[in-house]
Amino acid sequence: MLYKSVIIGLGQIGMGYDLALNLEEAVYSHARAFSLHPSFDLIGAVDPIRMKRDLFTKNYSQPAYLNIASLLQVHKPNVLVIASPTDNHNLALQEILVHLKPKAILCEKPLSYNLEQAREMVNLCERAGIKLFVNYMRRADPGVIEIKKRIESGQIALPIKGVVWYSKGFIHNGSHFFNLLEFWLGSFVKAKILNPGRLWNEKDPEPDVEVEFEKGKVVFMVVWEESYSYYTIELLSPSGRLSYEQEGGSIAWQSIQEDLKFSGYKILQTKPELIKNDMNRYQLNVLNQLVNALESKAHTLSTGKESLETLEAMYSIINKREL
């Protein structure tokens, strides 16, 4: 089946990230991914800025509209992407539902900065029979899926301890890695604030926090986005060490070997095993999983309900920070 699709919001993730890059280099944006994937027909977009609408039409040969109502008076898509600013996600969803009940909505992360609005979004889609997913794109990466398999098989043994370095807000960017760790390590159990930190952009807290999941404990540590971006995960297991570097562009596993210098000791392998990833095409990988979801097959996307659970866990941590 060919799914007619539209994009609401033509910012960086909507269109901009890969606009100046060759097709062979990267598929980072929704526009490029939907234009390339054989199961989707990109038929239009929405953005309030005329320059972005013109760029979309020039590059993708499809119309772009000033607002959602204008687009939906002309088109009846099966799949919509909400890539507008986070504060507008709930309003965008409500406007869509006035005109249409699509098969699926793929929303940018987080669902909302307002927990009640996020709950409302999930409830609205459930009542309308719409499949809601949130674009935590790392869950669609083959390397991430391979790590999950190794944890479940015991090759990466329990218990697990780890460290995440993040920046640009606990909710805005930290949620990428919180959701990813829920995918690998199971549900959130509890947390302990180590340092309350500051507010990013006067809105999004940046605490240092120890988080316990079902299968392990991970410390989230913030770095200074104004100095440089840095996003990594290190997980230690009784069976070895996992390194998730370059925002997922480099994944390495070190199992255990005998120490050849000191008898009776064991060390990590000096030459790590590189786990194949496909982060240069992360948004195309999301659409591969979205097709599975639309066809009621197994998939690894974060559902609206799972993404809400991520937010609820993270806001429970933020509330502790404010006590």
Phi, psi of 166 (to 5 degrees): -140, 170
- 14 and 78 share one domain: yes
Same domain for 169 and 117: no
Domain boundary among 89, 109, 136: 136
d(CA 265, CA 262): 6
| Alpha helices (H) in the chain, listed in sequence order | 30-36, 50-60, 68-74, 89-99, 115-128, 142-153, 174-185, 282-294, 304-322
Measured CA distances, 172 to 81, 109, 188 (Å): 18, 7, 18
**Same-domain status, 199 and 241:** yes
Count of helix runs (H) and strand runs (E) in the chain: 9, 19
In a domain, 78, yes or no: yes
Digit-by-digit pLDDT tens for the chain (323 residues) are 899 999 999 999 999 999 999 988 899 999 999 999 999 999 999 999 999 999 999 999 999 999 999 999 999 999 999 999 999 999 999 999 999 999 999 999 999 999 999 999 999 999 999 999 999 999 999 999 999 999 999 999 999 999 999 999 999 999 999 999 999 999 999 999 999 999 998 889 999 999 999 999 999 999 999 999 999 999 999 999 999 999 999 999 999 999 888 898 999 999 999 999 999 999 999 999 999 999 999 999 999 999 999 999 999 999 987 65
- Say yes or no: 108 and 162 in one domain: no
Tokens read off for 187: 């549900």
Q: Are residues 132 and 65 in the same domain?
A: yes
Residue located via tokens 């199992």: 255
Task: Give the total number of structural domains in the chain.
Answer: 2
Structural domain span for residue 159:
142-277
**Of 277, 294, 311, which residue is a domain's last?**
277
Q: Does residue 284 lie in a domain region?
A: no
CATH number of the domain that residue 59 is part of: 3.40.50.720
Say which DSSP state 17 is in.
T
0.85 exceeded by the pTM?
yes
| Claim to verify: residue 119 and residue 63 sit in the same structural domain | yes
